């Protein structure tokens, strides 16, 4: 078939997402109510028809491994398809993975077992929709040794934060800098720069040659070292080249019709949710009448493990507005606005949840108030408690508070009034 194998980097500790990553890897962090971050990358692979997948894990990988086993056992080994979770094994010495390139280097033996021509290397913790077959076609049409996907970002957003690519008119890469203070801009768009999104398509022989060199990370070491060596490195303009044709169901005057989603929305959306504030902002992109990132398409399906739960219900005067509410939730006289409720959440009478993200099986008792907060799984918020209304009081109670004032409660807390 396409002779492509995928390697997903899912071993990141996600320190900047603490306390959400206290007991789970970054790729296993819940997102969008019932999904985990890795589901978006895996869904892209399956929807693209690329189904030979190795998921490289390392830090706090228990829940991620269980999730992959329970939610992604959909491949047929008899047809040459697989999704394998590969833990770090110290194959080349006493060190664990020391970076993205080192993780792939330690698993080159896996790549040699199949008749493959190209290797797709992905991050397991980004939110986006991408047709990787379009990337593969571009890569092969350019006869590239390496193709790097990039998004257009404002120059000030890229400075000191992102890997920046410089390309000529044919999109051949002519420069690369990792998190530069003064990013090189796009010639025909001087306010913007090309930023790498961590999606690499390598020809296998080029990858193996590059990994013979010293260096632990693709962005910091390997890619800069490939410059000027005739490897044929090209930039894939994600917003220009990526086309996701999807549709959602619209109910209009009692009839059910299919409506094509706007290509410029989902096809250009990409977020690295590496901090609490970026995670929160991307989550808020999902709610509202016209979300920036749409979960409701019926062609580009987003898959995940799903618990068997009853439907949600809203009773005793409860109200829900501009929110995502998953299965098994009960809003019993409470009010929910611009929020995401994961499976099994209970909001009791007189309680309010505003602009917040609530993970699985949280109980919010009568009269409790939550605003601009992220509540991890199995938290119980007792009657009368307020969270997010007085940040100084929240800090005194040792709650984590982000730079923009998002309050985060770790898994399993029992929050009682002072």
Query: Domain spans of the chain?
Result: 4-241, 313-415
What is the model's pLDDT at position 93?
61
178 band by pLDDT with thresholds 50, 70 and 90: confident
Q: What percent of the chain has pLDDT over 70?
A: 92
Q: What percent of the chain has pLDDT over 90?
A: 65
Q: Tell which wins on pLDDT, 348 or 227.
A: 348
What is the model's pLDDT at position 229?
78
Q: Is the pLDDT of residue 267 over 80?
A: no
What is the model's pLDDT at position 258?
66
What is the model's pLDDT at position 17?
96
319-334, pLDDT tens digit by residue?
999 999 999 999 999 9
pTM of the model: 0.93
Q: Tell which wins on pLDDT, 151 or 254.
A: 151
What is the model's pLDDT at position 157?
87
Q: What CA–CA distance (Å, rounded) separates 374 from 279?
A: 10
What is the model's pLDDT at position 70?
92
What is the model's pLDDT at position 253?
57
What is the model's pLDDT at position 299?
83
CATH topology of domain 4-241: Spore Coat Polysaccharide Biosynthesis Protein SpsA; Chain A (3.90.550)
What is the model's pLDDT at position 249?
64
What is the model's pLDDT at position 13?
84
Q: Tell which wins on pLDDT, 217 or 338.
A: 338
What is the model's pLDDT at position 208?
92
Q: Which CATH architecture has domain 313-415?
A: 3 Solenoid (2.160)
Q: Is the pLDDT of residue 193 over 90?
A: yes
């Amino acid at each position: 078939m396409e002779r492509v194998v995928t390697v997903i980097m899912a071993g990141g500790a996600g320190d900047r997402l603490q306390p959400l990553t206290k007991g789970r890897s970054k790729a296993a962090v819940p997102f969008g109510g019932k999904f985990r971050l890795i589901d978006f990358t895996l869904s892209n692979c399956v929807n693209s028809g690329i189904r030979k997948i190795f998921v490289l894990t390392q830090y706090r990988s228990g829940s991620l491994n269980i999730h992959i086993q329970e939610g992604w056992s959909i491949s047929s080994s008899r047809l040459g398809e697989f999704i394998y979770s590969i833990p770090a094994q110290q194959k080349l010495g006493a060190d664990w993975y020391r970076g993205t390139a080192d993780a792939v280097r330690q698993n080159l033996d896996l790549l040699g077992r199949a008749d493959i021509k190209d290797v797709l290397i992905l991050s397991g913790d980004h939110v986006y929709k991408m047709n990787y077959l379009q990337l593969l076609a571009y890569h092969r049409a350019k006869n590239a040794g390496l193709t790097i996907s990039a998004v257009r970002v404002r120059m000030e957003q890229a400075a000191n934060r992102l890997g920046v690519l410089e390309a000529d008119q044919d999109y051949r890469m002519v420069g690369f800098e990792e998190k530069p203070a003064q990013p090189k801009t796009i010639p025909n768009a001087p306010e913007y720069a090309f930023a790498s999104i961590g999606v690499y398509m390598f020809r296998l022989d080029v990858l193996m040659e590059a990994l013979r060199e010293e260096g632990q990370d693709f962005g910091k070491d390997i890619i800069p070292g490939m410059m000027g060596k005739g490897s044929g490195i090209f930039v894939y303009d994600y917003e220009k080249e990526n086309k996701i044709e999807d549709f959602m169901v619209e109910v209009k005057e009692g009839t059910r019709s299919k409506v094509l989603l706007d290509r410029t929305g989902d096809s250009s959306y990409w977020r690295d949710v590496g901090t609490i504030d970026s995670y929160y902002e991307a989550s808020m992109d999902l709610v509202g009448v016209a979300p920036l990132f749409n979960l409701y398409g019926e062609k580009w399906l987003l898959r995940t493990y799903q618990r068997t739960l009853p439907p949600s219900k809203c009773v005793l005067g409860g109200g829900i507005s501009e929110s995502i509410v998953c299965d098994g939730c009960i809003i019993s006289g409470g009010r929910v606005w611009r929020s995401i409720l994961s499976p099994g959440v209970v909001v009791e009478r007189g309680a309010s949840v505003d602009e917040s993200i609530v993970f699985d099986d949280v109980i919010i008792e009568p009269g409790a108030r939550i605003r601009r907060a992220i509540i991890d799984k199995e938290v119980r918020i007792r009657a009368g408690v307020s969270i997010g209304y007085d940040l100084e009081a929240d800090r005194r109670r040792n709650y984590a508070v982000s730079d923009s004032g998002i309050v985060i409660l770790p898994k399993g807390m029992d929050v009682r009034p002072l």
